[in-house]
Amino acid sequence: MNLILFTKHGQLRQLDLNRPLVWAGLVSMAALFTVLLLFIGYGIATWREESSARGLAWRSQLAVQAQEVAQAKQLAQANIDALSAKVGELQAHIIRLDALGQQLTRMAGLKRGEFNFNAPPPEGGPEVSGPVQHVGLPDFLSTLDQLSAQIHNREQQLMVLENLLMNRNVERQALPSGPPVIAGYVSSPFGMRIDPFTGELAMHDGMDFAGTEGESVEAVASGIVTWAGPRSGYGNLVEIDHGNGYATRYGHNETILVHVGEVVKKGQEIALMGSTGRSTGPHVHLEVLYNGKPVNPARFVNASGRSRMAALPRSLD
């Protein structure tokens, strides 16, 4: 069997396939080609296996990293929630402190703007150069806890101070002071006098404030009404118990505006001036009693009543 081959120069050559050497060469080439194909296939298979293993490792590593990122987000969110809770708690404390401070400012009688809780306290100083110190989150949370505890303690202290001021304010409100009328004059002081009806020397247990019929009569202290109606010699009488042993009486009223058991405040209108009972004209008879005994109302009236009544005589000071 002959195999005809064409060369690049157009010449014909014959290859006799019946010769052993030719067959041996062809077989060797086929075997070499086969081995080459097997080697290439093994290499491709190995490369694919290694690529698959590397891809699996990468996917596993990415999954681990994604889980770590998710955990980091959860931790960050937990820290943010903790900070938000602490900040909210501090804000609530500060709001209460501001309200309490403003109330204490009013109760203490400080001037407007003298102590302003709506503005930061004035402070300053030269800038200090130095390394910047960063505070870590655990230290920051610990600082917030300490600040919250300090604010809570200050709040408790201010509440105690508020109670003290309130008690003092209540005591001041319950202590008789000032005249029972806005305008008028003292027509008869406390002490011995000539009785206008008998002409004889007699004890006068109160102070008489003359004025216009129907004029407002005000309580000189806060308390509870214990009498509101006619009474012998007093005409229409209002009596108020102020506690701590003090009581006041307001006599000769034209009209009574309160009732027994009613709680009245200092300066509240309790009656209208009149001339009922044993009276020679429109006035209010004021008595101040301490532990049931009459005392001179002058020192209570003059304690804070000068600006309201210009006609109080200096002899009563």
Which among 204, 108, 112 has a CA at the least distance from the CA of 164?
108
Instruction: Give me Rg for the CA atoms of the chain.
Output: 53
Residue 233 lies in a domain: yes
Instruction: State how many domains the chain has.
Output: 2
pLDDT in tens, 179-210: 999 888 899 999 999 988 888 899 999 999 99
Which of 36, 67, 98 is the last residue in one of the domains?
67
Residue 192 lies in a domain: yes
Residue 312 lies in a domain: yes
Inter-residue contact 256 to 205 (CB < 8 Å): no
CA 202 to chain centre: 60
SS3 133: coil
Which of 34, 49, 67 is the last residue in one of the domains?
67
pLDDT in tens, 120-149: 666 666 766 666 555 555 666 677 777 777
Which among 21, 17, 19 has a CA at the least distance from the CA of 5?
17
Q: What's the mean pLDDT in 52-76?
A: 76
Residue 170 lies in a domain: no
Q: What's the mean pLDDT in 45-60?
A: 73
SS3 230: strand
Inter-residue contact 102 to 119 (CB < 8 Å): no
Q: What is the Cα–Cα distance from 209 to 313, expressed in whole angstroms? A: 12
CATH code for position 233:
2.70.70.10
pLDDT of residue 8: 55
Residue 167 lies in a domain: no
Residue 285 has pLDDT above 50, yes or no: yes
| 193: containing domain | 185-316
Q: Find the distance separating the first CA and the last CA of the chain, reported in whole Å.
A: 159
Kindly state the DSSP code that residue 314 receives in the 8-state scheme.
G
